[in-house]
Each structure stands twice: as structure tokens, then as C-alpha cells.
Structure 1
Amino acid sequence: MSEDKEQPLQENSIEEKTVTETTENVGEETVNSSEESTTLQTETASVATDSAEEPNVMNEIDDSNAEDAEDTDTEKRHEIPMPDYHEMSMENLVGELQRLVKNEKIQAIRKHVDTIKDEFNQKFEHFLEEKKEEFIANGGNEIDFRYNSVDKQQFNEVYSEYRDKRNQYYKSLEKSHKENLAYRLDLIEQLKALVNVEEDINTTYNNFKDIQAKWRHAGPIPRADYNNVWKTYHHHIEIFYDFLNINRDLRDLDFKHNLEEKVKIVARAEELSKEPDLNRAFRELQVLHKIWKEDLGPVGKEHREEIWDRFSAATKTIHERRQDYFKNLDKIKEENLERKNAIIAEITALSEHISSNHGTLQKQIKKLEELRESFFKGGQVPQKQNSKTWNSFKTAVRAFNQNKNAFYKNLKKEQQENLDKKRALLDIAVSLKDSEDFDATTSEMKRIQGQWKKIGHVPRKYSDQLWKDFKTACNHYFDRLNALKSDAFKEEEANFKLKDEFIDRLKSFELSGDKAKDLEAIKKFSEEWKTYGRVPFKKKNINQKFDKIIDALYQKCGVSKQESELLKYGNKIQQLSDTDNQERAIQNERTFIRKKIDESKDEIRQLENNLQFFSNASESNPLVQDVIKRVNQHKESLAAWKAKLKKLNILKNNILKEEENVADTEEPEAED
């Protein structure tokens, strides 16, 4: 065979070269092959003719298959759903991008990523403009505006990861394509050589099948080389089939196999012509054409025209349905444009009639959000109108926000005044929530609650916490008040009766003059008092009566109040000493005392802060006097708790010393 005849051939010379080259190679043995050669030319010509009748769809399929030749994951790419990213928020778009980059192959998500990027940038631009308007409305200078968006930062990080993976993938892919191209060209050389070897025809045929199998699994090659390489490969396949005419049995087996496979392809194409999902149908049709073109050879002459006509007819049906779909899609986009223009007009009208009432304006803001949501869900518009529609939408929303911000700028001063008034009421509620003067305090608490309702709105960032604190203080007081009226304290009433009788008995007690004896008696009174349970909250002052009598008795014995507190605490110390688990009991008591110390400090600090709000009030003011009185009481209590802690520490140190002494006196174990 001459060198020029072995070069890759152009499509329009395939039929002519086939007969000539085959005759030169097989000589006299090809005398009877003219019929089959002619038949092969007929099928090829038929395909070319039928393809010419539908140049758009055939060219589109060929171009797509050439592109897919570089991508082994084209089927995977088409299987990834394409959600309506236009309806997603920026946060959801970032999440969708993260999911794709993490879970899908990088080469299969390009269209998804590009769409997500466009939608995110549009939404972020709109969001940024709103923030800028808000910044300016609050007195800021446009040149000083800066805004850090978490969503934007996350998007940039994920998109950067996508680009790195994509670049790395295509760098590796380029090398793989070159290697696959070299491998396929080598297979073509092996295929060309089959007609020149002198060996058993069955062996040659098996080698031919082996080359076909290797070709099908050879991997993708550069798109630019795809068509020429395939034409060269197909040309030499045809030459081999002509050469195979010397063994009709093998050829007929191949014809039969090819016919069976092409019948399956045609049947599937006819099913796809009724497939509701036109995009899916067209993608699968591309695959069928690729198999027909690349994986299967010719069929018997008597079936060629019929099988191709069926395949061509199914292809034409799918193509026509797809064309109708795109025509209808343009109509849908025009309808979307009309709907979005109507939404823009409604937003414009809304911005021109901003309410001067907060409640009504809140309804208008809600209406604007509904219109914005409808706009984003309105679907795609014609490409040439996209930018204009988006800019009109932004202008209308910006006008509404400017007018809204102007209203709230004037409202801000009034809300600050309301905030000061409510804070003053909160301070009163906190100062009275633990008051024991229920008659006077109940009236005052109801009064400040009524005033609270009459005061208008405060800045939103303070509103919830301010109301929560005020409500907590009021509920604390009224819960205490209601507890006094409950029937659930019958046992406490009984305890009160016992304590009241005990008080009468205590009042009749006379000191003997023997200090040690009298202190022991007072100690027993304290121990007995602790055996009685709690009393009703409103009668808890009986405990104070008892403390006053005990303190008076201690005072008559020449003992100060702090010393008396420590003497009374001595009973507690004794209990701790006698307990089985001293260390744990002492630790619990220490924790309790420290908590009481902290509470006393907090109460003193809070009450002293409250006094600052009454700086202009007279010291004769009942509220001021009550606060001062409570401050002094807490200071005395704080001193007592500190003294108790000191006594507890002494007990702890004594116990440790005893343990050390015991350890020192223990005899060491005898050595072996």
C-alpha cells in the first residue's frame, strides 16, 4: 500500500478510496467484493444524505459529542439537578456551592457554579446597596461606608477552592488527553496493518475485535482531534470489512450483531421521542448517535435504509419537540418580564406613598418584602432585558428605603426619650421587687405598669431585653404577693403558731446573772428554734423578732451583735464537726457562705447604683430611705458572713492539724 493512501482521509473521499485500496490489497480474492463495497458506499452515502436533511440537529449532536470526547463524566454532569438558584438566598447559595465542590466531580459542575456565581453577585450587590442606604440614613458619609459580609467571605473561600481544584484537574487532564491520543493513533496503525498480514482469517478477525475493544476503552482525547481521529478510524474499519468479504461467515455475524444493536438503539430513540423531559431525551439521543457512529459497524444491505430512516425519524421528532420547547421558553420569559415590570411599578407606587405612621409603615415594609420575594421567584427574563429589569428593580427598592429611612431618622429621637422613661420605671420595679411593704408597693407597681403601657416604642435593639427585665421584676414581686394568699402554706401557719408560742416563752425568760450559764441557755433556745420549720412569707418577721430577742439577751450578757452572730453560728460549726463526712460538709458550707458574700456584695452594688437615680431627691423620700436602710443591712450581713467564713477556716485548719498529729504518732510498719 502506498504511503499517501494510509493518511487520514477527508469525509468526502471515504467511499472512493475504499474500493481502490481494497482492490490493491486483496487482488483476485476481491473479485466478488464489489457488491459489498458498493453496498458500504450506499450506506455511507445514505447517512450523509439523511444528515443533510437535518443539518441543524445532526451538527448539534456531532458538536456536542466532540465536546464530550474530552469529558468522561458527561453523563454524570447531566445527572446533577439544576435547582432554581434564582429563588435561593445568599446563605443557601453558599451552602449549595459548598455541597457541589465537596460532593461532585469538579469537571461536572461548571454550569452550576457559573449560575450560582451570577445569582450570588446580583443578590450581594442589592444587599450591599441596602446596607449603604441604611448607613447614610443613620448619618454616615458614603465615602466611609465599609461592610464585611460573612456570606461574601464564605462564598469567596469556596469559589477559590473550586478554581484551585478545577485548574489542577484540567492540568492533569491535558496530560491524559495527549497520552490517550497517542494510544488511539497506535490502535489505528494496528488496524491498518491487519489487511497486510498473512495469517488465519479467524486470528485476524479476533485481533480486529481486540482492537475495537481497546478503542472503546481508550479514554478521552482533545476535542480538536476528535473528528479527524474518528474519521480515520472509521475509514480503516470500512477497509477491514471489505477485506473481510473473503470470509462471509464472519462478516455476516458482524452484520447480524450490528443490526441487533441498531434495532435496540432505534427502539430507544423512538421511546425518547415521547419522553416528557426534553433535555434528558436530547442528552440520551446524543449518546445513541455516538454509539451508532463509534461503536457499531454496517448492517446487511437489505436493512440499511430502513433502520437509518427509523433512527432519523425519531431524531427529527425529538429535535422538533425541542425546538418548540425553546420557542415556548421565549414566550415564558416574555411573560416573566411583564410580571416583573408590574412588580417594579408596584414598588415604585409604594415608595411614593410612604406612611407617617409606624404601624402602617411596618405593613408597607412587609408588603415590599413580599414584592421582592415575588420578583426573585419571577423566573428568567429575555437576556437582552435582564440588566435593564434588574436596574429598574434596584432603583425602585432604593427609593422606598430612602423614604423609609427618612421617617425613622425623625422617629429615632422620640424613641430615645421613650427609652430613658422606661429605664427609669425599670429601676423602680427592681428596687421594689423584694419590698415587704406589700400595701404601698402593690399600688406603686400597678402605677408604673400603667405608665409603661402609655410610653411609645424604644429602639429595637433595646426593646426585647428592656421588656424582659421589667416583666421579670414585676412578676417576681407579684409571685411573692400571690404566694401569701395561697392555701398551700397551712404547714407554715402551724410552724408560725409554734414559733409564736415559743416567742412568748422566750420573752418570759430571765437571766440568772451567771454569764456562762445564761449563754448556754441562750444557745439551747437557738437550737430549739431551728427545729421549727418555715413560716408564711408575710409572717417571716417573726424570725426577726426572735433574732432581736436573742440579740438583746446576748447584749445583756455583754456580747456584741457580731459576736452573737458567731455564737449562734457555733451550733452550725458543731454540727459540721460531728458529721461523718467532715471535708465534704465543710466544703459545701464554704461554697454556701461564699455565695452569700457574693450576693451581699451584688445587692450593695445594685442598691448604691439605684441611689444615683435619686440624686435630686430628698433624703426624706421614703424610697430613698428604704434603699439606704437596705444598703446598711446588707453591709452588716456581709460582715457577718465574712466572720463566719473565717470561723469555718479555723475549723478546717484545726481538723488538718489533728490529722497531721495522728499521722505523726502512727508507728511505721516493721521492715521484713
Structure 2
Amino acid sequence: MQEEQHDNLHVESTTADGHETQNELDIVNEAVEAIESLNAEVSEDATIEESHDIPMKDYEALDMDKLVLELEHLVSDDKVMAIRNHVEEIKQAFLSKYNHFIDEKREEFLHENPNSIEEFEYHFPLKTKFDSLYNNYKNKKNTHFKSLESALKDNLQKRLAIIEELKTLVNPSENIKDALKHFNDLRERWKNAGPIPKDKYNHVWNNYHFHVENFYDILHLDREARDLDFKHNLDQKLKIIARAKDLLNEHDVFKAFRELQSLHKIWKEEIGPVSRDHREEIWNQFSEITKQMHDKRESMFGQMREIEQQNLDKKNEIIAKIEAIATEKVEVHTGWQAQINKIEALREEFFSTGKVPAEVNEQTWNDFKTAVRNFNAHKNSFYKDIKKEQQANLDKKNALVARARELQESEDFAATTPIMKQIQEEWKKIGHVPKKFSDSVWAEFKEACNHYFDRLHAVRNQNEEVEIVAFDNKKEYLEKIKEFEFTGNHKADLDAIKAHIETWKGFGKVPFARRHIEGKFNKVLDALFEKLSSSKKEAEMMRFNNRIEQLGTDTRKIDSEKIFIQRKIEEVQNEIFQLENNIQFFANAKNDNPMVIEVKKNIERHKEELATWKEKLKQLRNM
């Protein structure tokens, strides 16, 4: 085509009559060459063009699980060239995240096993699945290339053979109608000949077009047929120009550019030449539209680069925040947990931020990994000390587990129960243990404690039934003792009261919630002793003996009673001491002095009271 060849000719700078300058033509040529270069690639493998139908996602913003799902979906399509750019983007995003993930796991391993000689290994099922999918894609791609390579060679030979046949048509002695029929047949065969290697595309097409032009040059012998074909070709190219103009208003610039590629291909490969009068004019129109579309596309690329720059700025800010957090001094576990949450949020924000300019992508990624690695090193240093403390806590808890197991079969519930409760309190005060032992050591401790207290509750339930019977008996007996009447014989009445006390004791313990009945019985006894004509000390000691026997083996209450009596003894001794000091003021007074007599009586009364308290203390100590 003369019109396409024209744009490669050298044209002088514009003159006063308005012709385009060389610079303007260079810009136009640049736009056309961009189209032709892309068409040459598409012509080699038609499946490349189909990749435009698959939207390119921001794969870098997806996590590894979603990346594998995307890869699985794409690889299920056999059109490997249509998905190749997508697959490579996914591969780059996945491996970046995976390598970062493995680096962190390796650091954790080295932190937990600082003296280990074994090699670090980490099985990540998602990576296995990714490798399987990617290998499947590579196998499909290799098979496709082998098949394509053979087809491209065959198609190249077909097209070269067509060109050779075209050469034979340029023979003035041949019948024009037969030649024209043969020519149209060759054009149809050319159209259906299939793709050829892209590095041969322009050369073969130019060669083909040169001989097509030569054929048209000899059609002057049949001007009418030539002019009809020129007119038809002109109409087709004008339609292409009209459609190209409409594409300038298309909202989706990239979609419009792809359609413009197709229009160029049709113009170049499917439509023949037009008359020389129109060739330069219509080609210039089409080229100018191509330039405008190319400019719009470049503008869109510029906007995308601005967005990538904004993403770079945002990622650099995130990296700076991580670096700042890594230098903060934290000395408690809760503080580190808060820091870890901050870093995790910043990592998510980094990954969800879009692409950055390709020339700084690797550097940005390395800066990010370094910042996170520094934070982890700082964190691991803290938890190295925590690990020692947790191991000590584990040793303490294991000791409590052993102690609980020793006591879990004990039959001495009165002595063992306080010890088991104390063990449980000590457990609560011990801090964290290594996570991998936390559940197991707790399960062992819980099992031993539950075993003991289940046995304790079973015994208590049995005792409670007996205690309810004792309560019912005591309730009935209480009404009976209220009807007791004195005979007037001191010894007989005293023995009767003692017998009532022994009978009451014989009924046994009552439920804790119903122990109020003991108080009622004591009140009845107090009333009886008040009426009994016996010594006050004897009555008081009988009441005391009955009360302390109700304390049973409760050492806490017995100790409390001892302390109370000791204080009473001190108080009475102090009273006696004070009274004996006071009587010294009456040394010269007569013995029948009323005040002297009253003081002496008080001293004797307090001495009797002191003797009673001492007797009570003696009995408590003998228990």
C-alpha cells in the first residue's frame, strides 16, 4: 500500500502553504508504529488479543489465598497466551508475599530454637497448590508454543508461496479477466493463511503489498475493473475512518485503542489500495486519528503512573510507621500485643495499596521487609526473656499437678480439702506457660482436682442425708426438753440436764444451713442452768463444754475461741491488779469500812471469774 509506505518517507519541514512539519510527522509515525508493533505481535498468536477481555486486577492487593483462587480460575482456561500477563502478575504478587511469610516463620524458628542444628523447614499447603497450578500453566504454555511454532512456519511458507504466485500475474500478455480472478483467489488465500512469526510480519506484508500494487498498475488495460475496485476500497476505508472518529469519544480508552488496532489490521491486510488521488489524503486522516487516540492512551498511562506514584508515597509512609514502631520501648506483654496488632494492620494496608512504579517496586518491597524484620527482631528479644519466665511457670504448675495427684485419693477430707483449695489458689497466681503446653498442663491439673472434689461432694451428699435426719430428731427433742421440770434435788436435776446434753449430742451434726437449732438448744440450757441451784462456775463450765463440743474439729474456730479467752484472762487480771492497787489507799482504814469491804468482794469475784476463764483455756488446749 502506497499510503502506508508514504509515512516512512522523509518530508521537509512545513512551508507557508501549511504542510506538516517533520516533527509533527514523526509524532504521527510514532503512533502508527505503536499500532503496527502491537498488531505484529497479535498476528503471531491470535490468543494474545483475547487477553484484553480479561480484566487486569490489582493482584498485589490480594492475599495469598485469593491469589491462588485467581490462578486456579485462569489456568482452567486453555488460552494460555490470553492469560500469560495475568499469571505472571499473580506469580510476582504471590511469591513476594510467600517469601515474606517464610522469612517470618524462619525468624520464629530461630528465636524458639536458638541452639538447634536442624535445618528450618516449613510445609505450606497453599504454596504446594500454587506450584501445581503454575506448573500446569507452564506445561500448557510449552505445548502451545510447540504447536504454534510449527503452525507459524507452515503459514509463513504459504504466504511466501502466495507472493511468488503474485509475481507471475504481472504479465501483460495474460488474459486480464483470468488474471483478476486468480488475483482475487490469492487475496482470499492470503486472508486465511494464518499467523506468521512477528519478526517476519512487516517484511512479508510489505513484499506482498508491493506485488499487489504492481498488479494494480497493469490493470490500466482494464481501467473499468480497476476503478470499481478502487472505489470499493475507498468506501471501506472511509468507513474505517468514520468508525475511528467515533472511537475518540469512547469512554474506555483502552478498549477503543484495541478496536483501533483491529481497524489498522483490516486497513492493512483486508482492503486493497485506492486511487493515487485519494491515497495520501485518507491515510493522513486515519493517521491523525491514530495520533489522537495514541495521545489519549498515553494520557491514561500518565494518570496511571500518577496513581502508582501516590501508592509509592503511601507505602513509604507505611514503612516509616513500621520503622518508628520498631524503635519504641515496650516492656510488657500487653504492650507488645498492641504493637503486633499495629504492625499487622500496617501490613494489611501495605498489601492492599495498589501498584507502584515498576522501577522502584523491588526496592520498596525490600524496604518493607527490612522494616518488618527489624520489628520482629526487637519483639523476639523481649519474648526470649518471657520464654524463660514461662518455662519456670511451667515447672511450678507441673509441681502443683504432681501434688494434686498425690492428694486426689485422700480419705481425710477435713485435712485435705483446705490443702487442695490452697493448691488451686497458688495455680491462679502463676503466670503464663509456653503455649504448646498450656492446654495439656491445665487438663492434667483440672482432672486431678475434679477427681478429688467429685469424691468429696459424693461423701458430703451422703452425710447431708444423715444430717437432715439429725436435724429432724433435734427439732423434735427441743420441744421435749422445753417441758423439763426441776425436782428440787440438785444432783438429780444436774444429772438430768447432763443426760439431755448427751442425748442431743448423740443425734449428730445437722446441715450447715440449719445450725440455728444449736443456738436454740443453748438458750434452753442457759435458762435451765439459771434455775438450777448449782455453783455459777459449774453451770458456766457445763455450758462451755457443750458449746466447744459443737465446734468439732474446726481448727479455725477453736483458735479464734482461744484468742478470745486469752484476751478475757488479760482483762480480768488487769482488773484484779487495779483493784489491789486501789485497796492500798485504804491501808489505814478499818476492816469494817464499807468501801474496803466492797473492793475486797470485787477482787474475789474477779478471781473466781479468772479461774473459770483459765479452766476454759485449759480444756481448749487439751482438745
Whether the 8 Å CA contact 1:14–1:235 is kept in 2: the answer is no
Whether the 8 Å CA contact 1:106–1:162 is kept in 2: the answer is yes
Partner of residue 311, structure 1: 286
Structure 2 portions without partners, runs of 5+: 10-18, 458-623
Partner of residue 332, structure 2: 357
State the 1:371 CA deviation: 1.0
**In structure 1, what is the Cα distance between the partners aligned to 2:420 and 2:227?**
105
Change in Cα spacing, 1:392 to 1:52, as seen in structure 2 (3 Å) is: closer
Whether the 8 Å CA contact 1:70–1:221 is kept in 2: the answer is yes
State the 1:146 CA deviation: 2.2
Q: TM-score under structure 1 normalisation?
A: 0.57
Instruction: State the AA in 1 paired with 2:53.
Output: E
Change in Cα spacing, 1:194 to 1:435, as seen in structure 2 (3 Å) is: farther
Instruction: State the AA in 2 paired with 1:114.
Output: E
**In structure 2, what is the Cα distance between the partners aligned to 1:104 and 1:387?**
31
Decide which of 346, 352, 355 is 1:371's aligned counterpart.
346
State the 1:180 CA deviation: 0.8
Whether the 8 Å CA contact 1:69–1:223 is kept in 2: the answer is yes
SS across alignment from 1:458: coil
Change in Cα spacing, 1:309 to 1:427, as seen in structure 2 (3 Å) is: farther
Instruction: State the AA in 2 paired with 1:215.
Output: W
**In structure 1, what is the Cα distance between the partners aligned to 2:7 and 2:316?**
57
Partner of residue 114, structure 2: 140
**In structure 2, what is the Cα distance between the partners aligned to 1:396 and 1:91?**
24
Decide which of 205, 217, 221 is 2:192's aligned counterpart.
217
Partner of residue 342, structure 1: 317
Decide which of 61, 72, 76 is 1:87's aligned counterpart.
61
Whether the 8 Å CA contact 2:172–2:218 is kept in 1: the answer is no
**In structure 1, what is the Cα distance between the partners aligned to 2:444 and 2:266?**
75
State the 1:366 CA deviation: 1.0
Decide which of 344, 366, 369 is 1:394's aligned counterpart.
369
**In structure 2, what is the Cα distance between the partners aligned to 1:421 and 1:142?**
26
State the 1:344 CA deviation: 1.4
Instruction: State the AA in 2 paired with 1:267.
Output: A
State the 1:230 CA deviation: 0.3
Alignment of structure 1 residues 142-181 onto 2, 5 Å: 144-150=118-124, 151-181=126-156
State the 1:192 CA deviation: 2.8
Instruction: State the AA in 1 paired with 2:292.
Output: T
Instruction: State the AA in 1 paired with 2:99.
Output: E
Change in Cα spacing, 1:70 to 1:481, as seen in structure 2 (3 Å) is: farther
Instruction: State the AA in 1 paired with 2:188.
Output: A
Decide which of 226, 230, 244 is 1:269's aligned counterpart.
244
Partner of residue 118, structure 1: 92
Change in Cα spacing, 1:50 to 1:232, as seen in structure 2 (3 Å) is: farther
Whether the 8 Å CA contact 1:270–1:314 is kept in 2: the answer is yes
State the 1:292 CA deviation: 0.9
Change in Cα spacing, 1:102 to 1:429, as seen in structure 2 (3 Å) is: farther
Whether the 8 Å CA contact 2:155–2:196 is kept in 1: the answer is yes
Deviations 1:635-663 (A, max 9, x none): xxxxxxxxxxxxxxxxxxxxxxxxxxxxx
Alignment of 1:410 with 2:392, yes or no, is: no
Larger Rg: 2
Partner of residue 96, structure 1: 70
State the 1:105 CA deviation: 2.1
**In structure 2, what is the Cα distance between the partners aligned to 1:135 and 1:14?**
65
Partner of residue 331, structure 1: 306
Instruction: State the AA in 1 paired with 2:113.
Output: G
Alignment of structure 1 residues 485-500 onto 2, 5 Å: none
**In structure 2, what is the Cα distance between the partners aligned to 1:481 and 1:246?**
123
Change in Cα spacing, 1:215 to 1:363, as seen in structure 2 (3 Å) is: same
**In structure 2, what is the Cα distance between the partners aligned to 1:445 and 1:64?**
83
State the 1:368 CA deviation: 0.3
Alignment of 1:292 with 2:267, yes or no, is: yes
SS across alignment from 1:219: coil
**In structure 2, what is the Cα distance between the partners aligned to 1:468 and 1:238?**
92
State the 1:271 CA deviation: 3.1
Deviations 1:121-146 (A, max 9, x none): 33233223222222222233587542
Whether the 8 Å CA contact 1:354–1:361 is kept in 2: the answer is no
**In structure 1, what is the Cα distance between the partners aligned to 2:319 and 2:8?**
63
Change in Cα spacing, 1:131 to 1:199, as seen in structure 2 (3 Å) is: same
Instruction: State the AA in 2 paired with 1:59.
Output: E
Partner of residue 184, structure 1: 159
Partner of residue 29, structure 2: 55
Identity rate, percent: 50
Decide which of 341, 345, 355 is 1:380's aligned counterpart.
355
State the 1:161 CA deviation: 3.9
Structure 1 portions without partners, runs of 5+: 1-7, 17-44, 483-672
Instruction: State the AA in 2 paired with 1:409.
Output: K
Alignment of 1:73 with 2:47, yes or no, is: yes
State the 1:390 CA deviation: 2.5
Q: Which has the larger displacement, 57-66 or 322-331?
A: 322-331
Whether the 8 Å CA contact 2:238–2:282 is kept in 1: the answer is yes
Partner of residue 520, structure 2: none
Change in Cα spacing, 1:456 to 1:281, as seen in structure 2 (3 Å) is: farther
**In structure 2, what is the Cα distance between the partners aligned to 1:334 and 1:176?**
43
- The count of residues paired between Structure 1 and Structure 2 equals 450
Deviations 1:279-326 (A, max 9, x none): 333232222211111111234566555543442332122211222223
Change in Cα spacing, 1:388 to 1:225, as seen in structure 2 (3 Å) is: closer
Change in Cα spacing, 1:444 to 1:285, as seen in structure 2 (3 Å) is: farther
Partner of residue 457, structure 1: 432
**In structure 1, what is the Cα distance between the partners aligned to 2:324 and 2:310?**
21
Change in Cα spacing, 1:362 to 1:12, as seen in structure 2 (3 Å) is: closer
SS across alignment from 1:298: coil
